[in-house]
Structure 1
């Protein structure tokens, strides 16, 4: 059997992780993932007792740890996320649900696994200890959203190897998170050793959230061993695409107040002792500035095995801009969204693969916005402090230049009290 490409989103959460939609249930996830264009997703939260029961009730095993809901084509691989005693989040992938049960037993007594907010359990274990348990079970582990100011490896360590200690040499991947991309991550030399996962970390099943970041991989067929091989590969190009938000749309891209979202330079934040001069809230260091501290390179550089990174804007947000809606879930957004998806096949095909002429036959105005997005005519009011950035799609180069002038410093997150220096101009 030859290799085929599959779209994977291997990080989101079920209802027991806190702040998660009550609709995050397997039948809904399977349906919405199929509409999005995802071939393979994670089970998520596979150490939580009630969620494990739900998984066993709703999924059937096809073969070798690949699961499917009977009503849909979406495949599920067993995965979860845990938090260690250093406040770092880790993604874990396992051969099957039986192994998840074994992992659960080994974690008993190391933290609460079954509370209403424990889909992502907080464990009294170090990164090295957790990785050792996972590796002994034949699983895969790596840092989740590696750069965010909360709960990430680079928030609390200066390198992945430092975090995982003796287990560090077995780490094959890191998840980039919404506020970083390959361009930023590869400014750190150590990261050239790792495969990059792009995943949604979604708390909602709707396609403007789930699959907003995905990884395209070559496998003979979906499966744990195919995933392991792709994450370990540095020669055969088995990961063919990382796709996700422009980092400026991420919630933690710039250094900002986590209460009023005022943006700061690191120098200004240090001057004010990381307290906001406007509201006295806490100022959190942004991903861009943290990478600037750790960067080994001052310009774009990638290892030979690194695939392209394609910036995405969810189709519902593109349609929202085209029709002037206030909400991506509004009926005047969802109606044309469904028409595009049903006609073309799925959302990822609309965003990435379908010829523009095919989209024009469905709706010329929305197709023009998709074409502008693909051409890179998108400006961003950058996010920070926990607030998402805002994409601004421009239909022409003239509009792009005009809005650059109109928005000025706002595009760099510069406030009135102090002007920030940017890490990179891109």
Structure 2
């Protein structure tokens, strides 16, 4: 079976998250998005675990959960996950066999207060965290590996330097794609995951990055097998040029610098501002090749942007305005879920509803976007004209 899966989100128990990140809302909004499987997130927080047990029911001892209702049988399903921060402020994504296992694991970690935040701060290093995860038959890998503040590569030049051995996957994060990552030789053997890290259940956040995967059946065991054996059909996510720290650039005037020139300038811009090293610059420091060397198992990486954000941009209206939401709902009524609209609906059919939207969706599908890259804290911009 083929599924769309977002394997990294947070609950309302994490800092700076929507109070609407509850199981019922997450399930319903994920259906609009077109997700078949979504992470629970925050599975070491006792308040969230209690809520999950009240709201979800496990399907035939598979480690897969559905909402505890009798009407919405086609809701998106859940898998138990958490993100943790280690003693170097590096973030790790753990996919867990069940809610019961998550309860049992909580006491294994050295932590001041496991319930202080949905993403707990563990007083242990990556290798120690991995050992516990594998003792409980979890799979684990670095979250958003290139993020300048909490990604593994901010502190280490090699993945195995962090864990002492190979993790089960690498999560690219919103600031990278397969072309960038596959300039680093050591990553050739890893499965790349693309997930939203969403703090909100609404479809312009949840599933903004996702994985299309082939599974034998919908179960934790099959999901692990798929990830470990690189059975990812396609990765979907942001064009990394849109990130506000993609290029190395000045945080004041936003001038773009080559990373080597920036280092020679002692990270000080000619305008007097500070130069911030970008994700692209860090990858260039680590790169083994000038151009990507994709291994045979590497799937295609498709750029996309949430439908509501595209509507907001082309019509110059806020994402949550009635103007945008009315058009969003009409498109879903006509053509199915959001992923179908973005990827599968014929452009000529979209054009009968919204010509401006049709043109920009075509640009994403054709990879012909004209992007002014983000740098120095300024987000990238797409020229849709």
TM-score tier, shorter chain, comes to over 0.9
Task: Give the Å deviation of 1:285.
Answer: 1.7
Deviation of residue 361 (structure 1)? 3.7
Task: Tell me if 1:196 matches 2:192.
Answer: yes
- Residues 311 and 85 (structure 1 numbering): CA distance in 2 closer, same or farther, change over 3 Å? same
3-state DSSP class of the match of 2:370? Answer: strand
State the match for 2:63 in structure 1.
65
Q: Does 1:299 align with 2:298?
A: no
* Aligned position for 1:110: 111
Q: CA separation in 2, counterparts of 1:110 and 1:369?
A: 47
Within 2, Cα distance between the matches of 1:57 and 1:280? Answer: 52
Tell me, yes or no, if structure 1 residue 244 matches structure 2 residue 215. Answer: no
Q: Tell me the distance in 2 between the aligned counterparts of 1:385 and 1:58.
A: 43
User: Could you say what secondary structure the match of 2:31 adopts?
Assistant: helix
How far is the alpha carbon of 1:188 from its aligned partner?
Answer: 0.5
Root mean square deviation, CA, Å: 2.0
List per-residue Cα deviations over 1:70-122 (Å, max 9, x = no partner). Answer: 33510100000001112210000011001100111212x4332112xx11111
Residues 40-72 of structure 1 show CA distances to partners (whole Å, capped at 9, x for unaligned) of: 010000001111112112211113111111335
Are residue 226 (structure 1) and residue 222 (structure 2) matched?
yes
Offset of residue 266 of structure 1: 2.7
Rounded Cα–Cα distance in structure 2 between residues aligned with 1:259 and 1:222: 49
Say if 2:341 is the partner of 1:382.
no
Are the counterparts in 1 of residues 173 and 195 from structure 2 also a CA contact under 8 Å?
yes
**Corresponding residue for residue 208 of structure 2:** 212
Picking from 4, 8, 13, the partner of 1:11 is 8
Aligned residue for 2:80?
78
Q: Which runs of 5+ in 2 are unaligned?
A: none
5+ long unaligned stretches in structure 1: 395-426
1:148 and 1:252 in contact (8 A); partners too: no
1: CA distance, partners of 2:138 / 2:148: 27
Say if 1:373 and 1:11 are closer, same or farther in 2 by CA, change over 3 A: same
Aligned partner of 1:26 in structure 2 is 23
Matched-pair contact (CA < 8 Å) for 1:249–1:383: yes
Equivalent of residue 313 in structure 1, options 302, 305, 321: 305
Partner of 1:339: 330
Q: 1:230 to 1:386 in 2, by over 3 A?
A: farther
Once the two structures are TM-superposed, the CA of residue 33 in structure 1 deviates from its matched residue by 0.9
Distance, in Å, in 2 between the alignment partners of 1:47 and 1:192 is 31
Offset at 1:39? 0.7
Equivalent positions of 1:344-359 (< 5 A) are 344-359=335-350
**Structure 1 residues 302, 366: CA separation in 2 closer, same or farther (over 3 Å shift)?**
same
The two structures have a TM-score, normalised by structure 1, of 0.84
In structure 2, the partner of 1:91 is: 93
After TM superposition, give the deviation of residue 183 of structure 1 in Å: 0.4
Show the counterpart of 1:161: 160
Hey, what's the Cα distance between the residues in 2 that align with 1:55 and 1:286? 38
TM-score calculated relative to the size of structure 2: 0.93
Closer, same or farther: CA 270–161 of 1 in aligned 2, 3 Å: same
Partner deviation per Cα, 1:222-265 (whole Å, 9 max, x = no partner): 2211111111114xxx2100010001012331224567766444
Relative to structure 1, the CA distance from residue 48 to residue 278 in structure 2 (aligned partners, 3 Å threshold; closer, same or farther) is farther
Distance 1:334 1:155 in 2: 39
